[in-house]
Amino acid sequence: MSELTLTVMRLGFLAVLWLFVIVAVQVIRSDLFGTRVTQRGSRREAGRQQQAARQAPPQQRQQATGGRRGRNAPTKLVVTEGTLTGTTVALQGQTITLGRAHDSTIVLDDDYASSRHARIYPDRDGQWIVEDLGSTNGTYLDRTRLTTPTPIALGAPIRIGKTVIELRK
Amino acid sequence: MSSTTNSPTHHTSTIGAIGAPSRRNTELALLVFAVVIPVFAYANVGLALNDSVPPGLLSYGLGLGLLAGVGHLVVRKFAPYADPLMLPLATLLNGLGLVVIWRLDQSKRLSNYAEAAPRQLLYSAMGVALLAVVLIFLKDHRVLQRYTYISMAGALFLLILPLVPGLGANIYGAKIWIKIPGLGTLQPGEFAKIVLAVFFAGYLMVKRDALALASRRFMGLYLPRGRDLGPILVVWVISILILVFETDLGTSLLFFGMFVIMLYVATERTSWIVFGLLMSAVGAVGVASFEPHIQTRVQAWLDPMREFELSRAGVQDGVVHSEQAMQALWAFGSGGTLGTGLGQGNSDLIGFAANSDFILATFGEELGLAGVMAILLLYGLIIERGVRTALAARDPFGKLLAIGLSGAFGLQVFVVAGGVMGLIPLTGMTLPFVAYGGSSVIANWALIGILLRISDTARRPAPAPAANPDAEMTQVVRPS
């Protein structure tokens, strides 16, 4: 047997041996399945995210040129006062409804809130708007009672009964 | 993701395990790979030694393939969710071991030893048969829990067997074999390893709270109460007795190490490891101070060259001098990074036990550092899968048993590889699956069988829970 053939076989064998080790490690990697977190309304949100993704390219270009909007866009809604203090909701382009009705995004356990009290939604430019839905006791942005859909500034308190929420980065 | 907490009384998300796929096809693909590699190695050895593809190639390949196939079908039928890697890894190591044993059979220097490869193939077949028996008859590993104290008695019996006069065989200083007339020799210690793991797991599962909680804190360590030290002292004394009477450092270290590992896992107390290390150090040094067989081993470890010269000079001073340790080191050295190529080394100079205790030296010489690293990684992967199984197991007994078995497996690899490479004094132990030796191969296949059984139980998807009506009610429903 020629020296060359044996050298090729020797190196080939080592390569095959290591290939096996690498394949085995790949199997381990694909074997790591942790836990699955099923979220309420996740299907709907996922659908929205997909839509958003489809519309994303032009927006991203806008943001790339504008820049400031992207950096200052709020990412979450935080309840700062009331029974739900500390609750956060991630803002992902979905409409957030507030009220005592149990199908609201944030269910308010508050005698001064109406069942469908207010909603918070992004307009076409991505600016978040709060709109009172004809509630009995009204929705306040800072100290003013809302009469029309109003853009929300970062950190401005929105008061509904005893509950105060604000948008944060 | 929206982590809404609409009201304190309702959870917003449910966390559940993702249904694990059974992965049997992955295992099959890896098994084919694991059979092809040794066949390649076999052809390589034949081409290097005799310039021709060895005539036994087909039967060897078919034999190994048959073993792998039987193992796979049994796992597919009786443990469908078991770990996909253990069987291929064990098959590959067994196949490579067979090739190297056959390669050493071909050596002219070793021609006065009996041919070992066909016997090893037979032992492997018996091992796979035992694996099948374990998987078929052990439907649930928790059954073993009932036999906790019977296991203790059984393990002690197995450990004492080699000391029984007329039954035990003293082979080159270590008394760890028993002679069975007409069948050859058997190493009961290999089986005691498994039985003892069952006992430790059952015992620690019951006693671990007492061992973990009833302790005083002293200098950052939790000191156990005096009476809780009882079990570790008993195991320590037994392992010292093994060392004294069977003069086998490896077996002693293996049992004590396995106990300390399991104790640590059961109680999460670092102090046990400190105690264990101290006690084993004291024990080993103490015994080595008066036991000549151990002293020789330590001498050969500290100065293998002197031992080699004494052996060459034929010095007769009451103890056996052996050139094996030095020859093994030379084998590793001449292998270099990429090795000399299968069938082209001179590791057969090691002589006796070249195909059992010292088989790693042949890998070192003919496959080089790259090959030995791969072999050690294969062992590491088996151990990783064992520990992974322990993590996934839901019952404490299964957890402890899986940790104990994989810990013992890992310790055994460490003791042998470390001994052959000169890291620790050499002791007569076999490299699992690779080295020649019936007891070792059979016992380790059984060990893999138990691990497969535990991993099957651990990875089997739980029956789907009933849908929670609340979750439906609180969903966001918006007409749009």
Per-residue pLDDT reduced to its tens digit, A122-159:
887 778 889 888 888 889 988 888 888 888 888 888 99
| Minimum Cα–Cα distance from A107: chain B residue | B6
Per the CB < 8 Å rule, is B44 touching A10? Answer: yes
pLDDT at B426: 83
Q: Which residues of A touch B18 (CB under 8 A)?
A: 33-36
Between chain A and chain B, how many beta carbons pairs sit less than 8 Å apart? Answer: 149
Summarize the confidence of residues B209-237 as an average pLDDT: 71
Residue B290 C-alpha, separation from nearest chain A C-alpha, in angstroms: 45
Residue type, B48: A
- B201 pLDDT band, cuts 50/70/90, is very high
- Range with lowest mean pLDDT among B143-152, B237-246, B248-257, B402-411: B237-246
* Candidate from A16, A25, A39 with C-beta closest to B1: A39
3-state secondary structure of B353: coil
Per the CB < 8 Å rule, is A28 touching B85? Answer: yes
Q: Which of the two residues, B471 and A7, has the higher pLDDT score?
A: A7
Q: Which of the two residues, B132 and B321, has the higher pLDDT score?
A: B132
Quote the CA–CA distance of B451 and B48 in Å, as a whole number.
38
Summarize the confidence of residues B254-277 as an average pLDDT: 86
pLDDT at B106: 85
pLDDT tens, residue by residue, A21-41: 999 998 888 777 655 555 554
- B128 pLDDT band, cuts 50/70/90, is very high
Separation of CA B352 from chain center: 23
A46 touches chain B (CB under 8 A): no
Q: Which residues of B touch A5 (CB under 8 A)?
A: 47
* Candidate from A24, A38, A89 with C-beta closest to B4: A89
Helix or strand run (H / E) with residue B137:
helix B117-137
pLDDT tens, residue by residue, B440-449: 999 999 999 9
pLDDT tens, residue by residue, A41-76: 444 444 454 454 444 444 444 443 333 445 667 888
Q: Which of the two residues, A59 and B188, has the higher pLDDT score?
A: B188
Quote the CA–CA distance of B299 and A38 in Å, as a whole number.
63
- B434 pLDDT band, cuts 50/70/90, is very high
Q: Report the range out of B58-62, B219-223, B469-473 with the highest average pLDDT.
A: B58-62
Residue A155 C-alpha, separation from nearest chain B C-alpha, in angstroms: 19
Q: Strand A96-99 vs strand A106-107: parallel, antiparallel, or unpaired? A: parallel
Quote the CA–CA distance of B213 and B224 in Å, as a whole number.
8
Residue A14 C-alpha, separation from nearest chain B C-alpha, in angstroms: 6
Quote the CA–CA distance of A43 and A39 in Å, as a whole number.
8
User: Which CA distances in Å does A112 have to A118, A139, B168, B202, B423?
Assistant: 13, 10, 89, 61, 77
pLDDT tens, residue by residue, B88-101: 999 999 999 999 99
pLDDT at A39: 56
Length of chain B: 480
The candidate with the shortest Cα–Cα distance to B448, out of B171, B128, B222, is B128
pLDDT averaged over every residue in chain B? 83
User: CB of A3 within 8 A of CB of B45?
Assistant: no
User: CB of B254 within 8 A of CB of B193?
Assistant: yes
Q: Is the pLDDT reported for residue B307 higher than 60? A: yes
Q: Which residues of B touch A93 (CB under 8 A)?
A: none
- Count how many Cα atoms sit within 13 Å of the Cα of residue B438 in the half-sphere of its side chain: 17
Asked whether the CA dihedral B97, B98, B103, B106 is positive or negative, the reply is positive
Q: Is the pLDDT reported for residue B416 higher than 80? A: yes
User: CB of B21 within 8 A of CB of B475?
Assistant: no
pLDDT at B177: 74
User: Which CA distances in Å does B478 have to A47, A48, B10?
Assistant: 13, 13, 19
Quote the CA–CA distance of B178 and B161 in Å, as a whole number.
7
Q: Is the pLDDT reported for residue B324 higher than 90? A: no
* Candidate from A21, A39, A97 with C-beta closest to B377: A21
Interface confidence (ipTM) of the complex: 0.85
Tokens for B423, please give them.
């890291």
Length of chain A: 169
Quote the CA–CA distance of B50 and A25 in Å, as a whole number.
36
User: CB of B443 within 8 A of CB of B189?
Assistant: no
* Candidate from A6, A13, A89 with C-beta closest to B41: A13
Q: Strand A139-141 vs strand A158-160: parallel, antiparallel, or unpaired? A: antiparallel
Summarize the confidence of residues B426-439 as an average pLDDT: 86
